[in-house]
Copies of this chain bind each other. A is one copy, B any other.
Amino acid sequence: MRKVYLSLSTVAEAQKKIVSFPSPLTAEKVPLAQSLGRTLAAAAVAKVSSPAFNGAAMDGVAVKAEITYGARASKPLTLEIGREAFWVNTGAPLPPETNAVIMVENLVINQDIDPPTGAPNVTIEEAVFPWRNVRKIGEDLVETEIVLPQGTAIGAYEIGALAAAGILEPMVFRKPQVVFIPTGSEMASLDSLTPEDLKAGHKLPEFNSLIVQALVEEVGGRLTVWPIVPDDPGKLKETLLKAVDGPFDLIVFNAGSSAGSKDYTAGLLQENGELLVHGIKAMPGKPVAIGKVNQKPVLGLPGYPVSAVIAFELLGLPLLKNWQSAVPLERPNAQVRLFQDLPSKPGLSEFIRVKLGRVNGELVAAPLPRGAGTVASLAKADGIIEIPAISEGLSASQPATVSLLRPLKTINGAILAIGSHDNALALIDGLLRRRDPKLSLTSAHVGSLGGLLALGKGLTHIAGCHLLGEDGTYNQEAIRRFLPGRGVTLIRLVERSQGLMVLRGNPLKIVSLADLTRPEVTMVNRQKGSGTRALLDYELRKSGLDPQSVRGYEDEEFTHLNVAAAVAGGRAQVGLGVLAAAMALGLEFIPLGWEEYDLAILKRDLNDPKIQVLLEIIRGPEFQKEAGALGGYGFKRTGAEVFSLD
């Protein structure tokens, strides 16, 4: 029943095996207007020169240069239009026997005649050399010249070059045909499931096909998605044989290649063909299988979306590109400073999604959650850091290399916010983008204290924080203690209503912190260093309650929304958080009081134009309107500088 990975392949070994499948792609002609995104199957050879004739490069009159020799201001020369000189517009072919163009600006024309082209003659005061102001035949392209090599991906410029070369139907590779076969009795197509189905989890939504479809289309292929095949060995075999017999160049089986109890793909490949690779040294992406059945490549992808995407990018895309003689997609790299150490298991290449921001000239990378199921982290990520298989991880003291998912110029326009999470940050992101699409706010959630420490190290533009001090003030104590001499200003973002979140109807009748010590009550906590945790500890101390007596006190989450989700999902009965999070998840909220949520900013950055726009937005009416709609916010001192320390 259980598959054991006999020996994992390195990524390079697996790539070598899959790209060794010979290309099945024949060539076909397509009209130029439909060739965008296709790939040249043969070198494009110019059918005509461009220009195909000697033409005027300027507006003026075409002449035989030799007749103008000797003309000068003191000895002007008059030329008869239609015999010695011929009006030409830019681009027009030169009349026979002419070999130069005199610009209209250099002609003396009788001003009484309108239009001047009606004049019987023109006068020149300067000679012209042969081929002056003439676009010579073949200047751009010469007939029979190789315009574009085989394997060229056709974009707008290539269409121009092909058109200029008279190639109206370029020879391109036919599109690679890929079939995607989702498997697993527990899977259901995404659009067949209601939100309630998704929450119940009896059926899991199949959407890897949509992601892989986009990846295949991006490299010029076409994906056919077959219905989900349940975990029935007979049905799977039947489907495999039908697929390899069909008009497909690559067969992709999804799920079933994990080492789970329903892993059939590897066995299926072994029984019906040849199993070439079973597992690669990559995380996410490890549980992959490559086989050859009926001479065709079959790729078994892991079920988790991030694993499936990374495995398909590592193995499927290079194959499709190679078949089209094209360079595999390689993302540009950049050097980054790591926000924190990134430990990793040796023996596997690990791919870490990161957020990026340029802080004081330096690119900073803050890691996103690593889980193979966190598909949204791929879309949120600005880059991917690969930790090599031989490494035990990367140290924050060393620069690291990131492979960029977005242009550096976009990343350079992002304000990096590391610190405590607040939904208002997403609103500010939206308002920044609406103001100027080049601006954005990108946030990583490490809690208030983590954010302030990052600010102190120059690793973030702003740090959202709400740390209640012993003296009852917010954030000031922490800044005095951890950031003396760094020059920090605190800008109030909002006041927030903090309280206990419980299920609607408050089934356990929780009314105050004292209820947390009841044996039937389990809470979900926030991580140490977060403002909410500090508030809880402050209030527990004030009420003389022992954290040891609170069940779930050790169970930590990193954001308000995740705490709310834990309560909504039944993992805990109560959590401490902001009203906005409770409202978002439909929970009941028992307010404990108002807290102050500030943005800490280094003084040196206050004049940064990005930060200036940020402050304008915070102080503007739109922000208050949109944040007000979320609920639980106060704006008494929003935008005010509430504290400053040199």
Contact = CB atoms under 8 A, between A and B. Distances in A.
Contacts of A140: 369, 371, 373-377
A121 interface: no
Contacts of A417: none
Interface string A561-603: 1101110110100000000000011000000000000000000
A327 B36 contact: no
A114 interface: yes
Contacts of A303: 90-91
Given A332-B409, A437-B327, A49 B565 contact: yes
A235 interface: no
A1 B152 CA distance: 44
A52 interface: yes
A166 interface: yes
Given A142-B564, A569-B53, A584-B143, A309 B160 contact: yes
Interface stretch (A243-251, A255-263, A394-402): A255-263
Contacts of A258: 59, 90
A380 B115 CA distance: 42
Contacts of A150: 430, 433-434
A222 B50 CA distance: 29
Contacts of A381: 157
A148 B380 CA distance: 8
Interface stretch (A212-220, A265-273, A293-301, A531-539): A212-220
Nearest to A205: B163
A158 interface: yes
Interface in A209-250: 210-215, 217-218
Residue of A160, A208, A409, A423 contacting most chain B CB atoms (<10 Å): A160
A89 B260 contact: yes
A480 B80 CA distance: 56
A578 to B, nearest CB: 13
A514 interface: no
Given A1-B114, A211-B163, A565-B143, A149 B430 contact: yes
B53 A166 contact: no
A28 B49 CA distance: 46
A164 B305 contact: yes
A151 B309 contact: no
A48 interface: yes
Given A198-B166, A214-B156, A54 B138 contact: no
A555 interface: yes
Given A218-B156, A327-B437, A408-B332, A142 B585 contact: yes
Interface in A190-220: 190-191, 195, 198-202, 204-205, 207-208, 210-215, 217-218
Contacts of A211: 156-157, 159-160, 163
- Assembly stoichiometry (copies): 2
Given A33-B210, A114-B1, A137-B571, A437 B151 contact: yes
A87 interface: yes
Given A91-B303, A326-B437, A330-B409, A369 B139 contact: yes
Interface stretch (A68-76, A128-136, A461-469, A541-549): A128-136
A117 B562 contact: no
A160 B430 contact: no
A110 to B, nearest CB: 14
A333 B57 CA distance: 32
A373 B569 contact: no
A304 interface: yes
A392 to B, nearest CB: 22
B373 A137 contact: no
A141 interface: yes
A47 interface: yes
A309 B195 contact: no
Given A90-B303, A140-B371, A309-B160, A429 B149 contact: yes
Contacts of A183: none
A571 B156 contact: no
A584 B144 contact: yes
A345 interface: no
A645 interface: no
Contact of A327 (B47, B376, B410): B410
A50 B376 contact: yes
Interface string A287-328: 000000000000000011100010000000000011001111
A410 B492 CA distance: 48
A116 interface: yes
B160 A201 contact: no
Contacts of A57: 371, 373
A147 B53 contact: no
Nearest to A214: B156
A389 interface: no
A453 B355 CA distance: 46
Given A201-B55, A408-B332, A158 B91 contact: no
A373 B135 contact: yes
Contacts of A148: 379
Contact of A325 (B144, B155, B434): B434
12 contacts: A43-B426, A89-B262, A136-B571, A139-B369, A142-B559, A142-B562, A146-B429, A147-B379, A151-B437, A156-B215, A159-B207, A325-B433
Given A1-B114, A139-B371, A146-B423, 7 more contacts: A54-B571, A92-B186, A139-B374, A142-B562, A143-B565, A143-B568, A161-B378
Pairs of residues from A and B, 3 with the lowest C-beta to C-beta distance, nearest first: A138-B565, A93-B201, A163-B207
